[in-house]
């Protein structure tokens, strides 16, 4: 009986640790996912306004939500890489510029692949889809969206690095003022 209760206690302890880890991951994933959800919806709106009347398919809300989730997780995974925090002892501008460049390249690849998938489905071949995309893409629209994405990514990196340097609680206080103490 004691062995059974010990196993149940051990199993409960493992489940508690697993739940705590999942909660920690979920809480860490929320800020970048929410940020990218809002900003990708902004990009989708800009894209819809730019493409109105062209017949080019627009992103659906589900594609935007999935993209935000993917970018949010990609940012968290990238932050674990030693390469991403290349300048920890330098002024914040170094890491902000470095991360903005890395995330912008990733965003550009995702943006390009998003367009490529539509042409790939249409032609049935990756190579033919890529050739058709290169022939039909409206490059000024593509680069306009990229510029907006780079600005939004820069803002994310700026806030993220400020939070890392000052602490999330201090950053909230800087932006929203001191919170009343719990006893008041």
Q: How confident is the model at residue 131 (pLDDT cuts 50, 70, 90)?
A: very high
What is the Cα–Cα distance from 94 to 101, expressed in whole angstroms?
11
CA distance 96 to 91: 9
Residue 24 within any structural domain of the chain = yes
Q: How remote is the C-alpha of 174 from its chain's centroid?
A: 24
With b for 16 or more beta-carbon neighbours within 10 A and e for fewer, the 139-178 pattern comes to eeebeebbeebbebbbebbeebbbeeeeeeeebeeeeeee
pLDDT digits (tens, 9 = 90+) for 44-58: 888 778 777 766 666
Q: How many domains does the chain have?
A: 1
- Which residue range(s) make up the domain with 95? 15-174
Global pTM reads 0.69
Is 183 domain-assigned? no
Instruction: Decide if pLDDT at 82 tops 60.
Output: yes
Percent of the chain, pLDDT > 90? 5
Helices (H), 56-125: 61-80, 92-123
Q: Does any domain span residue 6?
A: no
């Amino acid at each position: 009986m004691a062995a059974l209760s010990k196993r149940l206690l051990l199993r409960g302890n493992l489940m508690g640790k697993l739940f705590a880890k999942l909660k920690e991951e979920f809480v860490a994933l929320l800020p970048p996912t929410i940020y990218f959800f809002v900003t990708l919806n902004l990009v989708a709106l800009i894209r819809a306004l730019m493409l109105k009347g062209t017949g080019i398919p627009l992103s659906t809300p589900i594609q935007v939500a999935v993209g935000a989730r993917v970018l949010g997780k990609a940012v968290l995974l990238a932050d674990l890489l030693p390469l991403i925090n290349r300048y920890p002892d330098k002024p914040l501008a170094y890491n902000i510029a470095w991360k903005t460049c890395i995330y912008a390249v990733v965003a550009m690849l995702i943006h390009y692949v998003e367009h490529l998938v539509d042409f790939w489905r249409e032609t049935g071949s990756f190579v033919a889809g890529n050739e058709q995309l290169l022939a039909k893409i409206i490059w000024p629209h593509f680069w306009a969206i990229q510029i907006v994405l780079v600005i939004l990514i820069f803002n994310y990196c700026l806030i993220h690095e400020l939070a890392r340097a000052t602490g999330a609680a201090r950053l909230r206080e800087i932006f929203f003022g001191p919170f009343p103490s719990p006893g008041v």
